[in-house]
């Protein structure tokens, strides 16, 4: 089954304790992205990757890191989480057609993170 | 700069009445436009997409949207609301193969 898998789905942590949210897709998509969803602010892009070893900042990258060592995986790293990073996080992926525009995004089920 | 504006944060309708969720966009080039739906505690699911083919796009569950370049709009409609349509809806825009950006979302409530 084609899917985007995120882990953990729920996490409560404390300020400063490094954490990683994993994202894996089995559709051989070139493009992967992380979003955070906050009430009243909608979905905001954190980072995205056009292919292996190619990453770029989205609208709200501060406090986050990503890596793309393999095509299927795109982990989101919070080196020193703070309470303002409490949010619902979504990973998404898509293919890149020849003309360069992305196709539809396939989303994971979300990871709800609480930083105390 | 490209942007997406969803004109209503909350829309309430009665079951069986039409649904209209409004989305305006700003883009330097011909964009691809999308509507996604998010049910409670779920990820986002694609409803429909416009990619410069037919301007009237039909999606799943009876939804459709019309791309109007002159009005820079991509409003989502459904002739008759169902209780199961209650969810949050996001309009998205993609240009030049980079970020897919979203509006702030519209919560649709459906009453019986």
Nearest chain B CA: its distance from A75 CA (Å): 18
Per-residue pLDDT at A47 exceeds 70: yes
Using a 10 angstrom Cβ sphere, with 0-12 exposed, 13-18 middle and 19 or more buried, the burial of residue A116 is: exposed
Per-residue pLDDT at B7 exceeds 80: yes
Q: Within an 8 Å CB–CB cutoff, is residue A96 touching chain B? A: yes
- Under 8 Å between Cβ of B23 and B82: no
Per-residue pLDDT at B109 exceeds 80: yes
Q: Do A100 and B94 touch (CB under 8 A)?
A: no
pLDDT score, position A104: 79
Report pLDDT digits (tens) over B53-65.
Answer: 788 999 999 999 9
pLDDT score, position B97: 56
**Taking all residues of chain B, what is their mean pLDDT, rounded to a whole number?**
91
Chain A residues within an 8 Å CB radius of B90: 42-43
Confidence of residue A99 (pLDDT cuts 50, 70, 90): low
pLDDT score, position A7: 97
Q: Residues A82-98: what's their mean pLDDT? A: 89
Chain A residues within an 8 Å CB radius of B6: 42
Q: Residues B85-105: what's their mean pLDDT? A: 84
Nearest chain A CA: its distance from B18 CA (Å): 24
């Amino acid at each position: 089954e084609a899917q985007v898998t995120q882990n953990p789905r729920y996490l409560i942590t404390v300020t400063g304790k490094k954490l990683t949210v994993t994202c894996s897709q089995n559709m051989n998509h070139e493009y992967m992205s992380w979003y955070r969803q906050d009430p009243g602010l909608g979905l905001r892009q954190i980072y995205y990757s056009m292919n292996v070893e190619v990453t770029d900042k989205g609208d709200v990258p501060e406090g986050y890191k990503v890596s793309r060592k393999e095509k299927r995986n795109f982990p989101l790293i919070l080196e020193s989480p703070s309470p303002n990073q409490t949010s619902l996080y979504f990973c998404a992926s898509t293919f890149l057609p020849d003309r360069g525009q992305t196709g539809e995004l396939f989303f994971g089920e979300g990871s709800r993170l609480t930083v105390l | 700069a490209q942007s997406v504006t969803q004109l209503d944060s909350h829309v309430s309708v009665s079951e069986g009445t039409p649904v209209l969720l409004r989305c305006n966009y700003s883009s330097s080039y011909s964009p691809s436009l999308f509507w996604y739906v998010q049910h409670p505690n779920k990820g986002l699911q694609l409803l429909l997409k416009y990619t410069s083919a037919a301007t009237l796009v039909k999606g799943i569950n009876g939804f459709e949207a019309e791309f109007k370049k002159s009005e820079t709009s991509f409003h989502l409609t459904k002739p008759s609301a169902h209780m199961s349509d209650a969810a949050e809806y996001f309009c998205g825009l993609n240009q030049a193969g980079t970020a897919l950006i979203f509006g702030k979302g519209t919560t649709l409530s459906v009453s019986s």
